[in-house]
Amino acid sequence: MSTRAHNFYAGPAILPVSVLEETRDAVMNFANLGVSILEISHRSKEFDAVIQEAENDALAIMGLSAQDCAVIFVGGGASLQFAMIPMNFLHTKADYLVTGEWATKAAKEAKMFGAVNEAASSKDKNFNYLPKSYKFSPDADYVHITTNNTIYGTEWKSIPDVGSVPLISDMSSDMFGVKREWSRYSLIYAGAQKNLGPAGVTMIVIKRAYLEAKAKEQVPTMLKYKTHVDGKSLYNTPPVFGVFVLGKTLKWIQKEGGLDAIEARNQKKARIIYDVIDARPDFYKGTVTDKSDRSIMNLTWNLPSPELEDKFVAEAKKKQMVGLKGHRSVGGIRSSQYNACPVESVEALAKFMEEFYAANK
């Protein structure tokens, strides 16, 4: 597919070409049934196999067991989880690490259901670093962390020790892009449209023991995790198309060598761009103050002026590099280099950065 652009969009984001090809075929004829994946009943045995395989593959990638953990697929995006989590698990007080816009929104939603303690925050410097000290509450119902901050370009490399308090994480923008100590988390959620699939489906991994011991009973049916766990994501019609693409993407991750290979490639891609930024610090100004906090998923930087940034984006687009404009709330440049972003695209961007520097310094 030589006509494909170099895709650096932050989400919905690039998908593997092989997954797009399989999806294209399934849109016309799914499982040789003579119907489209867009037309199939979610109660059919053919789709049941799709959703079961996706659950099994997700757990296999994380090295978790179906006996200990459930995987469910729901709509509403990660933003719905901001409310569902406290609705189900916030009894008195919860700790939130506030390190970006999405973490801020998650904490705001939680305040509707109980007390929220900001155990740490980096909003004093517009989220350009990750906190190094924390004030956790030993009696908190849970600790919430956002592992990667898409807008600001920071990413937790190691997760603070929260003791025996349940740990809940929004991993929307680095899920399966890096390895994590998956067993540490009582609940993980991720909007699919970064590393997992298309917009419209959210994957949730939850410990069964946590659900049984800590979930509230008086929660509306569709907003209750137990509903979706007991119904194996089929209580109501799930995002069928999104789950299909997500399932194919999980197969691709396994074929690529699993998380060891995926993370190594992502680290390589990040180094290519950060090396250019670090070599030209007066021209390409990285927005994250501590290099150890830099994201390998979303790389952010500024140029000497907004006018140069606009020129950079416009000229890059002429070279079929799309999605490089920074988030509207912060401006600048952002290169989102998710799993399916090929090394060749990143190398092309690095070459363009050097050419642009030479022409505009």
Active site residues: 102, 170, 194
* Side-chain half-sphere exposure of 178, counting CA atoms within 13 A: 22
Q: How far apart are CA 72 and CA 84, in angstroms?
A: 14
Q: How far apart are CA 320 and CA 305, in angstroms?
A: 23
Q: How far apart are CA 338 and CA 176, in angstroms?
A: 10
CB neighbours of residue 215 within 10 Å: 16
For the record, the structure tokens of 57 come out as: 């593959």
CB neighbours of residue 181 within 10 Å: 10
**Residues 123 and 102: beta-carbon distance below 8 Å:** no
**Residues 59 and 66: beta-carbon distance below 8 Å:** yes
Q: How far apart are CA 307 and CA 230, in angstroms?
A: 54
CB neighbours of residue 289 within 10 Å: 13
Q: How far apart are CA 127 and CA 289, in angstroms?
A: 10
Q: Which positions ≥6 away from 302 have C-beta within 8 Å? A: 284, 285, 287, 309, 331, 332, 333
Q: State the DSSP string of 341-354.
A: S-HHHHHHHHHHHH
> How far is C-alpha 296 from the geometric centre of its chain's CA atoms?
12
For the record, the structure tokens of 51 come out as: 């959703």
